[in-house]
Homo-oligomer: A and B are copies of this chain.
Amino acid sequence: MNEFVKTFTPAEAPWSIEEFSDRMRAVGPERYHDLHPFHKLLHGGKLDKNQVAAWALNRYCYQEAIPRKDAAFMSRVHDRDLRREWIHRIQDHDGTPPEEEGGIERWLILTDCLGFDRQYVTSMQGALPATRFAVEAYVRFVVEQPLVVAAASSLTELFAPSIHRERIAGMLASYDFVNDRVMAYFKRRLSQAPRDANFTFEFVKQNARTREQQEACVEAIRFKCNVLWAQLDALQHAYVEGNIPPGAWRP
């Protein structure tokens, strides 16, 4: 018998919707970045202003990538209703002038307050290379993966509201350079993230129909957690442990 002819094994049955939901939700407690040491330092008031500044400077790269990521997703969607549902995610970040400034603008208010020149922030020249590699890997993932898997990668938003609540409270209490105006980004996300996450959660549950697709969706949430975790690893290594790489911002 030809060694390349394997015995046919039928595909495993898909999980029930409940089991699939549970497995996706289980990724949060397993590896969402609220478990990262840098997160604990940040929210516990254990960082100095320069370390918070490094976090804000680097996380700008992530904010900057989100509308490109969502546009990349939309560029693959043939269903007009789905595009119509998705488009507000771009607008949430880019804003709809003149009324609504958008999330990136709110982020820049945070970096203003931390003493950065906007030109420097938006140039991303001072960001850690590892930040940009992680962020662009996310954009590429959404370009390249099957659509339902690409959508699933945004489901870290299921876990975001609790981290944002904790962040707002912890940072307001701990840092005298942080005020309500500066925390505006996270306050807004408290309402935006659950709306988006709920829609996507339903979309993924309905559209991942085989066990293989379901597993890929759970894996996509892990991948996205990795993208977030890697950013905090890089910050910790550079700005807590003091190994700032060549070219990156030096306080």
Contacts and interface: CB of A to CB of B under 8 A. Distances in A.
A97 B84 contact: yes
Interface residues of A, number: 26
**What copy number does this chain have within its complex?**
2
A102 B77 CA distance: 17
A172 interface: no
A104 B84 CA distance: 12
A91 B83 CA distance: 10
Contacts of A73: 71
A145 B229 CA distance: 33
A104 B77 CA distance: 14
B68 A71 contact: no
A102 B84 CA distance: 11
A74 B77 contact: no
A78 B94 contact: no
19 contacts: A64-B78, A67-B74, A67-B80, A67-B83, A71-B72, A71-B74, A71-B75, A71-B77, A74-B75, A75-B139, A83-B90, A83-B94, A84-B94, A84-B95, A84-B96, A84-B97, A87-B87, A87-B91, A87-B94
